Structure formats: structure tokens, C-alpha cells
Amino acid sequence: MGGLISCMSGRDGRSPSASPAPPAAKRRSSASSRRSGAKAAEIDEQALAAAAALVLGQRGAGGFDRSASVRYAAKRQQQGPPLPRSSSTRPRSLADPELQPQHLLAKDLNTKDLETNIIVLVHGGGFGAWCWYKTMSLLEDSGFKVNAIDLTGSGIHCSDTNKISSISEYAEPLTSYLKGLGDAEKVILVAHDFGGACISHAMEMFPSKVAKAVFLCATMLTNGHSALDMFQQMDTNGMLQKAQEFVYSNGKDRPPTAINIDRALLRDLLFNQSPSKDVSLASVSIRPIPFAPVMEKLTLTEENYGSVRRFFVETTEDNAIPLSHQQSMCVANPPEKVLRLKGSDHAPFFSRPQALHKALVEIATLPPVQAS
């Protein structure tokens, strides 16, 4: 967290108060060079500051330890050769910079004319609402109403991850939100990673309140299958297995209660194309993934789940859910449309925020299907 705060202090790592004020002549001579970079960094710095404030609030909430720098330092030194990173030669995040407000995609879009202008963002396993900070900013500036939900035991939700016993309990913040909507209100659900299983569960419960469902490199399961079934079929060259650390809060003779991701392997597995500042944010914010919901087989019917329009967004440089497996899910359970984010790792909200924004706006602006 100290590293994250220092990023916002000053570009040389010192706080503004630690540097003596320059002479008036020097201030005038350097003003133009400082001004040229100020606008480009403004949105990014504000978003990072907001994210840092969220993390600080989480650390003050108690209930779990987020400081990983000491605990994992020795482990990093013991690691063998580094895991393979993306074969892409694309510079990390440089081709997808934050845009100024006047350049935002869909800036002239009138969201009031859409089927719904409410977008609900559902994070993946271990993540929290904090991971959507770039996506939320872009969507809100385009006129959408955006809600990012912390699932049970995630983000700033204070529940103990080890005590979550079902997907209905894990997804309860989402289903409670949908239950509270008005009779005529609909939303677009956007899920990342294991959040796909959670929105599938919600679609089965409240199909009339979901206009569209977007699976962002997410678990798009079929009836009678679990996320564990999917992960066991994947070939990640052993990367996922190396990164997993099972938690046995009920004893080693009982099934695992949660899964931790080795912080030393976070970048290789999840963030191989993401900016370093976002990897730092994730390293102090990610929480354990409850294991019981991962094992639970979903009951999905054609009448409910099947009645909701589904879309899948592929990520081509994904080391956690490889592109080949994303495509296999789409073959087994075909969505209405498949979009692709080139150069994105498993965290497109970090590595390709503008491309993700464009894809979500494209899906949101598709007109309703006329009843035959």
C-alpha cells in the first residue's frame, strides 16, 4: 500500500511537502513542460486516488489481512524460472491509454433511448468492485448508470470467505439488488471470470429483470455443470495449478474452504498485459475465493436462463482462461454474439479499458429483439 500511495505523491517518489519550492524564475521556465503532461495524467491520477481511497477503507474495515509485501517476499525468491508470459509483442497498456473526456467513446450517445441504461458490473473470483474503476468512469461519462457490486466475502464485504457454503450465498448481494428493482426495470449484467456463474444463477432467478448478459472471459456454464468442471478441463501449462493455494479452515481432512492466488504469480497468471500500478492495486486488494460455490453445479433452464440474451467477450492474451477454452465454452453454449479484445490479458478492465468500453457500448446499444 505504501508503494501505491507513493505513486500519487510525486513523480520522484517524494511528497510535495518534502521538496523546497523552486525560485519564481525556475517555476516560470518549467511551467510549460509541466502543463503539457498534466492534462494527460489528470483522469488517471484521479481514478488511482479513488481506488487507493477504497483500498484504505477496506484495510480499515478489519476482518482480513491485505499486506502481502512481507509475507510473499521470501516466496518470490524461492520461485524457479519465471512462468511464460504472453507471446505478444504489444507493449503493456501503451496502446490503450486513458482518453481525455472530450475524446471518450460514445460521448454523443443518448442512453435514455436504450432498452436500459443501467449496467451492473460483477467481479470475478478474488476480485471486488474496485477492479472496475476505469470501466465505471468511462461508462458513466458516456451516460450510463453503473453499479459495481461486491459479492459476499469480496471487496469491502465483511463476511468470512471460508464460511460461504453456496453460490446463492456468494451471489446474494447481486440477487438482492435485482430483487429490489422495479417491475419494469431491467439491467445489463457484465460478469468477469467466476462472476459468470453468479450472473447465470441470477439470470435463472430473475430473467425478466436482465435485458442482456455479458460474459467477459467468464465462466459461461451449461446446465448441471460447475466452475470446477470447467477449470479442470483447461490447459494452462500448469500455471493455474502453481498459483493456487488451498485454504482448509475446517481441517485438512475436510474439503478446502477457499483458494488463494500466490501473489508472486499474480502478474503472470492474471495481469501479463496490465499496467504495474493496477497490478499493485490488485496485490493488496484480492481476497480468497470461496471454494463451495466453485464446486456447485448450476441448475439452468431454457425458460429462465435461456430467455436472456447472452454475449461473450474474448481476451486473446489470457493466461487464466486461455482463448481456446473461451471458444470451447461458446461452442458448447452459443451466445448471441462474440466480441474479441485483442491484446487483453485476463483483466481487460486494466489492460484494455477503452476496447472493453467500446464492446460494452456496442452491446448496450443493440436494439431489443422483436417478438415473433
The answer to whether 177 touches 210, Cβ cutoff 8 Å, is: no
Point out which residues pair with 313 in neighbouring strands. 216, 339
The answer to whether 158 touches 126, Cβ cutoff 8 Å, is: no
Q: What are the backbone angles phi and psi of residue 335, rounded to the nearest 5°?
A: -85, 175
- Number of Cβ atoms within 10 Å of the Cβ of 68: 18
346 is annotated as an active-site residue: yes
Distances (CA, A) of 208 to 179, 204, 259: 11, 10, 34
Q: What are the backbone angles phi and psi of residue 13, rounded to the nearest 5°?
A: 90, -10
**Helix or strand (DSSP H, E) at 192:** strand 187-192
- Number of Cβ atoms within 10 Å of the Cβ of 315: 28
Q: Which of 318, 325, 345, 357 is catalytic?
A: 318
268 is annotated as an active-site residue: no
With H, G, I as helix, E, B as strand and everything else as coil, classify residue 186: coil
Q: Please give the Cα distance from 361 to 358 (Å, whole number).
A: 5
The answer to whether 335 touches 189, Cβ cutoff 8 Å, is: no
Q: Which of 96, 150, 193, 268 is catalytic?
A: 193
Contacts of 154 (CB under 8 A, 6+ apart): 123, 126, 127, 128, 161, 287
Q: Which of 192, 201, 346, 357 is catalytic?
A: 346
Q: Please give the Cα distance from 169 to 82 (Å, whole number).
A: 37
96 is annotated as an active-site residue: no
With H, G, I as helix, E, B as strand and everything else as coil, classify residue 70: coil
Residue with cell 481525455: 100
| Catalytically annotated residues | 193, 318, 346
